[in-house]
A = this chain, B = another copy of it.
Amino acid sequence: MLGLMQDQPLLISSLIDFAQRHHADAEIVSRRVEGDIHRSNYGLIAQRARQVANALDALGLQAGERVATLAWNGYRHLEAYFGVSGSGRVLHTLNPRLHPDQIVWIANHAEDQVLCFDMTFLPIVKAIHSRCSTIQHYVAFCDADKLPADSGIPNLQSYETLVRAQPAHYKWPALDENAASSMCYTSGTTGHPKGVVYSHRSTVLHAFACAMPDVLNVSARDSVLPVVPMFHVNAWGLPYACAMTGAKMVFPGPAMDGKSIYELIEAEQVSFAAGVPTVWQMLLSHMGQGALRFSSLKRTVIGGSACPPAMLAAFNDVYGVEVLHAWGMTEMSPLGTVCTLKNKHLALDESEKMQVRVKQGRGMFGVDMKIVDEDGAELPWDGKAFGDLLVRGPWVLSAYFKNEGGTPLVDGWFVTGDVATIDPDGYLQITDRTKDVIKSGGEWISSIDVENIGMAHPAVAMAACIGMKHPKWDERPVLVAVKKPGAEVSRDELLAFFEGKTAKWQIPDDVIFVDAIPLGGTGKMQKTKLRDMLANYQLPAH
């Protein structure tokens, strides 16, 4: 016996339709590549998204064909989000921070037909277009008068010229909700980059979850600043969740320095901002220098990599901003857990609450998770046992595009590559990446725990902990550290700083000072490169 409710597919076009109908005048504010502040709203975004759809029809693009973007967070990018997916094409966000060779490989693998890009990235496009074999049309996010005369890029046209020529009326197709809507490549640790292909269904369900009070808590009263890029994992789903709720959106464009972000937060009365720790570090540093305060910011979600406890404390204690510590993956659309308190925690004092907030948070409905040992047996949720983290759910991937890398599932569960504990209340704490855990004398040492202690030292700007081969213990931890400009600390002083903060056997055997730690395209520390750099390093004899 079936239910008798209406059979309506979950579609991305419904999100922008809703925003247009119910929140037409809610603002979309962008700092542009041009440097100025541009003001739009959902009514205009919806109209231009339809013009984008008509333009893709005019270019002859078929359903399911890929339209790539190489762009900052901004209104044109948002129009492409809805116009491309809404009309049945697949939005493929390319990460401009990757090496051009990687971008070429990815664009060819995805068989992109169109590439839309911000003028910032013209040099990249110039460098790669001759090797992108499937791209037929290059569209620059600018007015016609900003187009370079002699770029050498074939079929280069201005987005504004292309879009404005189109009628504003377009009937969104009634797609299968399981149709592909968008894709994003993840670099992974071995082999080629792998494409994650989202569907309309997974995107809309993820948006529902994203907006919930225990997740990102997005409402029509919010002014939302996604500093986290739209070119990577759809800015954590915020463009969809904001359209679903009619929240005002504020886009930083290319200006991610502390001063620009602070000014934008104040000018647009941002209530909620989303970003990675490195960006917030720049913001906090700017705030501290000027003894500045926020007049509107209420909460911020921090993910991408673990948030240092010192940063949590600064936001919470100094600025009165609630930090939502979060964990997710490209393969998970990306939200998996967000750290919000439960009813039982409300009576705790601030320091006890902070003990909860340092964890990556609780799973939301729609994400099942478990931790398993090396034999695949499930481990208890006691906050102590740690093992490989497995997840499943309607916005978790089942396979990579073109089956790259084989099946990523074990018995229906996606193997995240993270190692974690889960406490009795369901709070997850990532202790490490599976490949970064240091196995010393049969015990595991979390490289992240060691890094957090190292980075708490006032003279340390950044620190990475990696395992070095050891004849007796298999591996021993070594801390690679970057000093703050003008700050000084010696190897022995830094090692002494660990005393009393962790078990003796978990203290690194050595400290290596470097000028910089290599960062990847999404701002994460590249420990593989670090290991290559230290190929000839010898552990000190004890």
Contact = CB atoms under 8 A, between A and B. Distances in A.
Interface stretch (A158-166, A208-216, A512-520, A529-537): A208-216
Interface in A374-418: 392-401, 412, 414
Contacts of A365: 14-15, 18, 244-245
Contacts of A357: none
Contacts of A244: 365
Contact of A199 (B5, B21, B219): B5
Given A22-B362, A245-B365, A363-B22, A392 B8 contact: yes
Contacts of A202: 3, 5
Given A2-B178, A343-B248, A213 B223 contact: no
Contacts of A344: 25-26
A78 to B, nearest CB: 17
Interface in A399-448: 399-401, 412, 414, 426
A277 to B, nearest CB: 25
Contacts of A7: 178, 394, 398
A213 B208 contact: no
Given A15-B365, A21-B426, A211-B212, A4 B398 contact: yes
Interface string A322-347: 00000000000100000011111110
Contact of A247 (B196, B343, B393, B412): B343
Number of copies: 2
Contact of A208 (B179, B212, B219, B220): B212
A200 interface: yes
Contact of A5 (B5, B14, B212, B396): B396
B179 A3 contact: yes
A91 interface: no
A177 to B, nearest CB: 9
Contacts of A463: none
Nearest to A3: B199
Contact of A10 (B63, B176, B179, B394): B394
B8 A397 contact: no
A270 to B, nearest CB: 11
Given A213-B211, A213-B217, A4 B397 contact: yes
Contacts of A10: 205, 394
Given A4-B397, A394-B6, A398-B5, A214 B219 contact: yes
Interface in A169-189: 176, 178-181
Contacts of A197: 1-5
Contacts of A258: none
Interface string A55-69: 000000001100000
Given A6-B414, A244-B365, 16 more contacts: A2-B179, A2-B199, A3-B180, A3-B199, A4-B401, A5-B394, A5-B395, A5-B396, A5-B398, A6-B393, A6-B395, A7-B394, A8-B393, A18-B368, A21-B368, A214-B220
11 contacts: A4-B398, A5-B198, A5-B199, A6-B392, A6-B393, A6-B412, A7-B178, A18-B365, A18-B368, A22-B363, A212-B245
